[in-house]
Amino acid sequence: MMPVFEHFQIDRIASPLGTLLVVCDDTGRLRALDFHDYQARMQRLLRVHYGERGFELVAGRAPAAVADALAAFFAGALHAIESVEVRTGGTPFQRRVWSALRRIPSGVTNSYGELARAIGKPGASRAVGLANGANPVVIVVPCHRVIGADGSLTGFGGGIERKRWLLEHESKRHSASVPIAQREVA
C-alpha cells in the first residue's frame, strides 16, 4: 500500500496580529493556520501530523471562503470563522479536543479542566493541555479561549500578547455578533 501524500497550498494573509500563514488542501479545507513568526512551529506540527515526507507545501492562494472568513472575523464578525471547514491530522484524542475547542463560543473562556470535562475525560486536563498546544489551526480552532483554572492567561502558540488581543477582540464584539452553524474538526 502506497502512503498517503497530501498536497497543501500556503498563503500569507495580513491581519491585525501580523501576517498569517494559511495552509489549505486541494478541496479548500483549512489544514494549518499560524503566525508568520511561528512558521517553524507550523511546519513541525505538519510533519508530526502528516509525516516527514507525507505532504507537499507549495505557494498558492487561500480559498476565498477562508480568506473572507478571517477578514470578517478581524473586522468584528466573530462567528464568520465557524463556517471554515477544517481538516487536521493528529490523534483521535487531539481531534476530539480540537472539536471541543470549536464549540467554545466567542467571548467565552474555558479552563483545561472544563475542556477535559466537556469531552468526557474529567481527569485528563494535562492531556487536554498537550492537545491544545498541538493545535495546528490557531484562531479558527480557538485554543486562545483556554485559560488557567485561576483565570490566568496560559501558553499560546502565537504568544501571550496575541492571545490577550484575541480575547479582548472577542469580548468587545461578542454582543454584536450573530452565530452561524459551527463545524467540527474532521
Whether residues 22 and 67 fall in one domain? yes
| 178 pLDDT above the threshold of 60 | no
Identify whether 185 is part of a domain: no
**Model confidence pLDDT, tens digit, residues 12-45:** 999 999 999 999 999 999 999 999 999 999 999 9
Identify whether 46 is part of a domain: yes
Identify whether 11 is part of a domain: yes
| 69 pLDDT above the threshold of 80 | yes
> Which positions are catalytic?
143
DSSP string, 54-117: SEEEEE-PPPHHHHHHHHHHHHT-GGGGGGS-B---S-HHHHHHHHHHHTSPTT--EEHHHHHH
Q: What is the mean pLDDT of residues 147-172?
A: 88
User: What is the domain extent for residue 102?
Assistant: 92-176
The answer to whether 152 and 63 have CB atoms below 8 angstroms apart is: no
Looking at every residue in the chain, the average pLDDT score rounds to: 88
Q: What is the mean pLDDT of residues 127-149?
A: 92
Identify whether 29 is part of a domain: yes
Whether residues 143 and 73 fall in one domain? no
| 179 pLDDT above the threshold of 50 | no
What is residue 81's predicted lDDT score, i.e. its pLDDT? Answer: 95
Domain stop point among 83, 106, 130: 83
The pTM of the full predicted model, rounded to 2 decimals, is 0.87
Domains of the chain: total: 2
